[in-house]
């Protein structure tokens, strides 16, 4: 798109792929633990108990874990305009809201309490030592049976209620919502009888809160959730033991059971044997020798520093980092130092995981609604569990906590939510060797060392590992790893020879009475590119074949490839569907800034492993997940258009998505 006085947003839906961008020392305020500290098991035993990747102690030596050191955030203060809300600020917000007319006379719940970031121009113009812009918070709340968006000014103590009800849908669930949903069914005598009738003791019951998407008027006007349950008897891996076909619909606001459906009375609960994934259990049945320890040593400590809790500096990179309840992490103001002038040059104003769409392909009663939006419904940050030192992150990693607000406004800390570390895996960043025929004995090699920002979200059965990786050559790579456990379906079949040819089981028989249902994971990243300033354009460089005529005697070649660059003038022209037989490059560039040879300065966007959704465009889940219709979207700057599935995703109809914005 042609440059204007605003930056472009790029949205990249990936199917658990990799998004790659190519570019054409102080003291820690809170220092990472040193290697000596980490290996002092007298005071840090949790750091020394790894039994898989790094073993400091003999495999069979018992270890008694102690509490991991927790940092006190009570006295934290903001240092940067983009710093997240502090414990003290969240407490003040709670006090101000409790005296507001909207919340005084009725129960309420706070679903989002986050920094309302200042205008972009103020952030760009701010320099260290300047006064901070006024601190404000955006609050999304449920009160009096409705959703509300408010701004709380922490300086003036004013609370502003914004217009609501423009779109369908509800806010992201709170942790309290999810907990309540799993308890409500136990208040139903019918549910309890059904569970016992299926041969499960209530003390062995584990239940999951499952968002139900949107499929019609029957779900209108009520904030609903589905609950399905599993047997924990003889295993911690209850996901492998579904009470198939039993689904409870719960009203989250009234906290009552709306409907109980049991379509799986004849389906047995899968067996528990060989389902426990804990190392202590698997070690007893181990057939592979434990690998020798592997460790990255940094005798002088790490090369990166964290200033004022959130400003990361490493090699030639500098960026702001903060945890986020919905996105997991937010990278802001990413800059790289020019190797010639030494100046910091802007690359990206803001980057985050915008949404994750997970539709299952089983249309039956207990499965059709499983079309999750993991960020907008559950919250990547809310579901981020503490990272395990030496296993999730290597030695010398720096750990950052998340500070969030509970449904009643009370601040709480999610410890070790994000880690920052230097990574070296024996890879090569660059090399060149001269052949002996040149008469030169040259072998030049540069090892590849990168800086990684990592978080892991445990959204029920699946664990998503999201890495933002920075390289010294200016490359930014986003990696998404999928781990955890499959969500499986119970079945009466124990062997494939029992399945009739005409029976569609919507997946694969994985074990006796267990089906792995076909499904997808589409994760969409929001990148607010700011390459050498805000005047950025988007171009598609198409690679096409050119044929030489038979009469052309200047070359024996009959064909060659030609690159044609087309700058997008509209949002429609910037919507990209990747095609194997339409090879192209995608550039974000600043036409007002040139290299020394006259080319515009920019980045190349290189999508990784991705795929298009094959669902019908009129299918309700696809309407809500319409941002997967293209693999790249480019839109004008609009600070409210941050979430590809819309602000209120839960039970939304899909009228506030990236696809809708782009058609305006």
Q: Which CATH class is domain 71-166?
A: alpha beta
pLDDT tens per residue, range 6-29: 334 566 655 543 333 333 333 333
Comparing CA positions, the residue from 231, 228, 226, 236 lying closest to residue 203 is 231
Does the domain made of 8-27+299-431+444-662 have the CATH classification 2.70.98.20?
yes
Domains 8-27+299-431+444-662 and 71-166 belong to one CATH topology: no
- Which residues, at least 6 apart from 260, have a Cβ–Cβ distance to it below 8 Å? 185, 188, 190, 191, 194, 246, 247, 248, 249
Per-residue confidence (pLDDT) for residue 29, from 0 to 100: 36
Q: Is 628 within 8 Å of 613 (Cβ atoms)?
A: yes
Summarize the confidence of residues 73-98 as an average pLDDT. Answer: 98
Paired strand residues for 432: 444
Residue 21 CB coordination number (10 Å): 22
Model's pTM, two decimal places?
0.89
C-alpha 111, offset from chain centre: 18
Q: Is 648 within 8 Å of 170 (Cβ atoms)?
A: yes
Per-residue confidence (pLDDT) for residue 551, from 0 to 100: 63
Q: Is 282 within 8 Å of 51 (Cβ atoms)?
A: no
d(CA 632, CA 574): 8
pLDDT band at 117 (very low <50, low <70, confident <90, very high): very high
pLDDT at residue 504 greater than cutoff 50: yes
Quote the tokens at residue 212. 């139900």
pLDDT at residue 44 greater than cutoff 50: no
* Dihedral Cα 640, 642, 643, 646, nearest 10 deg: 20
Q: Does 68 or 484 have the greater pLDDT score?
A: 484
Q: Does 105 or 492 have the greater pLDDT score?
A: 492
Domain boundaries, the chain: 8-27+299-431+444-662, 34-68, 71-166, 175-285
Per-residue confidence (pLDDT) for residue 48, from 0 to 100: 34
Sign of the dihedral defined by the CA atoms of residues 595, 599, 603, 606, in that order: negative
Summarize the confidence of residues 249-257 as an average pLDDT. Answer: 97
d(CA 297, CA 39): 12
**For all residues of the chain together, what is the average pLDDT?**
89
Among 13-17, 333-337, 450-454, which stretch is predicted with the lowest mean pLDDT?
13-17
Per-residue confidence (pLDDT) for residue 165, from 0 to 100: 62
- Which residues, at least 6 apart from 448, have a Cβ–Cβ distance to it below 8 Å? 424, 425, 427, 428, 429, 471
Summarize the confidence of residues 423-447 as an average pLDDT. Answer: 92
Residue pointed to by tokens 């007893």: 284
Per-residue confidence (pLDDT) for residue 24, from 0 to 100: 37
Residue 510 CB coordination number (10 Å): 15
Residue 620 CB coordination number (10 Å): 18
Q: Is 181 within 8 Å of 250 (Cβ atoms)?
A: yes
- Which residues, at least 6 apart from 528, have a Cβ–Cβ distance to it below 8 Å? 7, 8, 9, 10, 348, 349, 350, 351, 637
The one catalytic residue among 374, 392, 467, 535: 374
The one catalytic residue among 462, 493, 522, 526: 462
Q: Is 538 within 8 Å of 574 (Cβ atoms)?
A: yes
pLDDT band at 525 (very low <50, low <70, confident <90, very high): very high
Percent of the chain's residues with pLDDT above 70? 89
Summarize the confidence of residues 327-343 as an average pLDDT. Answer: 97
pLDDT tens per residue, range 532-580: 999 999 999 999 999 987 767 788 888 999 999 999 999 999 999 998 8
Q: Does 416 or 557 have the greater pLDDT score?
A: 416
Q: Does 221 or 233 have the greater pLDDT score?
A: 233
pLDDT at residue 59 greater than cutoff 50: no
Does the annotation mark 462 as catalytic? yes
Among 85-89, 278-282, 361-365, 653-657, which stretch is predicted with the lowest mean pLDDT?
278-282
Beta-strand relationship, 522-529 and 344-359: antiparallel
For 175-285, CATH gives: 3.10.450.40
Q: Is 423 within 8 Å of 469 (Cβ atoms)?
A: yes
Summarize the confidence of residues 371-391 as an average pLDDT. Answer: 96
Provide Rg for the chain, Cα atoms. 27
Task: Provide the 3-class DSSP secondary structure of residue 7.
Answer: coil
């Amino acid at each position: 798109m042609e440059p204007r006085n605003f930056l472009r947003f790029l949205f990249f839906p990936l199917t658990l792929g990799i998004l790659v961008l190519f570019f054409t020392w102080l003291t820690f305020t809170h220092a990472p633990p040193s290697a000596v500290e980490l290996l002092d098991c007298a005071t840090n035993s949790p750091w020394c108990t790894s039994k898989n990747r790094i073993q400091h102690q003999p495999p069979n030596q018992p270890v008694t874990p102690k509490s991991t050191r927790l940092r006190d955030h009570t006295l934290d203060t903001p240092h940067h305009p983009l710093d997240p809300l502090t414990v003290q600020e969240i407490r003040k917000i709670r006090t101000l809201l409790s005296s507001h007319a909207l919340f005084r006379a009725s129960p309420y719940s706070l679903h989002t309490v986050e920094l309302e970031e200042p205008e972009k121009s103020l952030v760009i113009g701010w320099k260290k030592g300047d006064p901070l812009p006024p601190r404000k918070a955006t609050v999304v709340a449920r009160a009096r049976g409705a959703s509300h968006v408010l701004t709380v000014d922490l300086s003036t103590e004013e609370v502003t209620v914004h217009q609501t009800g423009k779109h369908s849908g509800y806010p992201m669930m709170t942790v309290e919502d999810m907990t309540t949903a799993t308890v409500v069914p136990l208040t139903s005598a019918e549910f309890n009888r059904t569970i016992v009738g299926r041969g499960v003791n209530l003390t062995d019951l584990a239940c999951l809160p499952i968002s139900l998407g949107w499929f019609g008027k029957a779900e209108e006007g009520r904030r609903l959730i589905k609950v399905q349950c599993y047997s924990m008897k003889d295993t911690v891996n209850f996901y492998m033991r579904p009470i198939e076909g039993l689904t409870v619909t719960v009203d989250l606001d009234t906290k009552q059971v709306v409907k109980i459906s049991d379509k799986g009375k004849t389906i047995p609960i899968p067996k528990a044997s060989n389902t426990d994934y804990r190392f202590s259990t698997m070690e007893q049945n181990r057939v592979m020798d434990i690998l020798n320890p592997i460790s990255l040593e940094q005798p002088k400590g790490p090369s990166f520093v964290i200033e004022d809790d959130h400003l990361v500096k490493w090699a030639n990179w500098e960026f702001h980092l903060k945890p986020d309840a919905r996105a997991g992490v937010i990278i802001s103001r990413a800059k790289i130092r020019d190797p010639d002038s030494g100046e910091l040059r802007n690359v990206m104003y803001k980057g985050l995981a915008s949404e994750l769409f997970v539709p299952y392909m089983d249309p039956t009663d207990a499965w059709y609604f499983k079309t999750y939006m993991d960020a907008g419904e559950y919250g990547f940050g809310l579901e981020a569990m503490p990272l395990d030192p030496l296993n999730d992150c290597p030695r010398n990693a720096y750990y950052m906590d998340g500070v969030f607000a509970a449904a009643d406004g009370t601040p709480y800390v999610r410890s070790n939510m994000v880690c920052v570390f230097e990574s070296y895996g024996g890879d090569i960043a660059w090399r060149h060797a001269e052949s002996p025929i040149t008469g030169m004995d040259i072998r030049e090699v540069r090892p590849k060392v990168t800086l990684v920002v990592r978080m892991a979200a445990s959204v029920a059965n699946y664990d998503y590992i999201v890495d933002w990786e920075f390289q010294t050559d200016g490359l930014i790579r986003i990696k998404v790893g999928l781990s955890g456990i499959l969500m499986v379906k119970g079945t009466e079949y124990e062997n494939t020879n029992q399945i009739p040819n005409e029976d569609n089981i919507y997946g694969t028989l994985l074990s006796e009475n267990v089906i792995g249902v076909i499904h997808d994971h589409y994760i969409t990243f929001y990148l607010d590119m700011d390459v050498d300033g805000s005047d950025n354009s988007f171009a598609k460089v198409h690679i096409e074949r050119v044929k030489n005529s038979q009469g052309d005697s200047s070359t024996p070649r009959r064909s060659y490839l030609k690159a044609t660059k087309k700058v997008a003038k509209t949002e429609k022209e910037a919507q990209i569907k990747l095609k194997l037989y339409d090879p192209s490059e995608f550039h974000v560039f600043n036409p007002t800034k040139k290299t020394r040879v006259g080319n515009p300065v920019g980045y190349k966007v290189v999508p990784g492993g991705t795929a298009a959704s094959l669902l019908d465009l009129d299918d309700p889940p696809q309407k809500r997940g319409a941002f997967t219709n293209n693999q790249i979207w480019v839109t004008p700057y609009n600070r409210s258009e941050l979430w590809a599935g819309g602000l209120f995703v839960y039970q939304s109809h899909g009228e506030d998505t990236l696809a809708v914005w782009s058609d305006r």
